[in-house]
Structure 1
């Protein structure tokens, strides 16, 4: 979280510098050209609120997890933070690439008058069209859309790498054709120096499929190396533990490692690269993970169950269940028969008269606990009480946000 927050702050600074940099000769630059490129700057700025919001949500949930006095509920809250952290990690990476393209455009506008402004606008419009769907999916906070966008990110990064190289090469060729041979070398050097693309994006993928297991090794000082410097062994261990705990998905971590390692080729049949499986421990919890659709093998969506009853929303809000801890965040998927069973066999009116019906039971338990305490229960006390009842009823402690179905 700290790393992503620092990266986001650096990107905000970079955007501000580009926006406030005075135009060059001929009113050329991102801040010039009669505002033709300000929309692209604005698109970058527009990503900052949701990125910071995702980090804030992650922080809220991890703090709540550290405070709750129940190990099962603690892990459940950490799992709730996973999609938000995943979205922030992938979103910051994608925004860094967008800033690279803005940097590139600014240099081309200032230093390469032979490259058509209209063509550059078309280039940036095309690149934004490539970035936008993934960015929208990540910003949605929908766990399944976030997961799909994170898994697809390596392929997108490969496409963006080619776009970046194409614009840079186009600028060089335009300068040569304009007879400005002496300025070409200086332009190429500037395009390389001002862009962080060499850090945020790997080199172009090889023509032949590459397996991560071939190019990913741990050297003597414990740093993992691929076609470029990748990540530390400590980072891999952290990812392994988060995957095994169910906080992050192995598919998304696999995609992140492939991006860092410069391996952009899609793996056959959705299988994980051998090197990633080994780095993550290659245990049954890793081998058993694979990409699936929301409905599984053609089956209908299981019903959602509000663990904290919706008809008592106001009661829970008074005790701290708002925002990222709203009761709509505490839903679980259950088989239809199980869902109907805990609600009195599916008959709503009959269910409320059955002492063991979930909503009636949980509210009586919480209200009794408040009477004994002589005060309002804290949010953590409520979660601990709910966790015990969930174990009693064999309800899986894996929360998902309410979808309204």
Structure 2
């Protein structure tokens, strides 16, 4: 489970790594198998297909040693590969639990009847589906065979110390984005919104942390709009540096077109930052509008700009929303809350497959 060469880990790897460093490994024996993408942008399709075939062979070889397979899946080819792993595990009499961590899968199923058929087959075959919030619970339960298998388990993230938050400097006009720099993440919408923000808040700035295939085009677009001096592209940074930028910012901005439940947003909430994000995936399940931030429609840069200006112009409101978001993270998104729920669904899936296993869990493990 290694990060990409550029230092990015991604949501799946972050989730898997947090489980591997949690008390879960003291209660169950874990056989890790990495399926991390070797590069970004991804390698050619033929190379990816060959890598997937090798991973499937390794998975099949390891499977007899396991009672249950916990499989982290994304979208596109990942759904085919990881879904096949789940089908194989179930056919071999092992428990199969899939955790999907992408917002693209809903659109893919809507656009492609073949993908929707495959997802239906995967959901029917597996013994458990981990969903990242109520939106995704409804999505997976809508498939035949899904009802009763879907369990909501929210993402776990490391908490930023409250003492560090208390040492945060005076409010400014600093907006921060963390994530891939490419169109589906809404980064060009972010530029359009910033252009409108600057008419009301002329000293506002936007810091983008991350990289991707559209970074050069984004820089050119900022220059063309005449706002390049207000846009700072940092590239991928070590996690600790990301936290430092969050603590120096005033608003977290995520105008994405599709999401599962973004860890970057949760980390910003851990830093007591108010959020301006789009109404996709499980975002609105976490960012209650008017409480921890504001949620807009995808592409509505007027609403985004209004929300950003409201928070930049009213530091007291921004602080109150940031505090509310921090409390949500403490209550629902720590690893101590999350790992027992994974242990519980793993045990349930193994038993559903006829494996005689039991796990000694904290009393609250069955919650959620």
TM-score normalized with structure 1 length: 0.21
Bigger RCO (CA 8 Å, 6+ sep):
2
Of structures 1 and 2, the larger Rg is shown by 1
Larger % of strand: which? Answer: 2
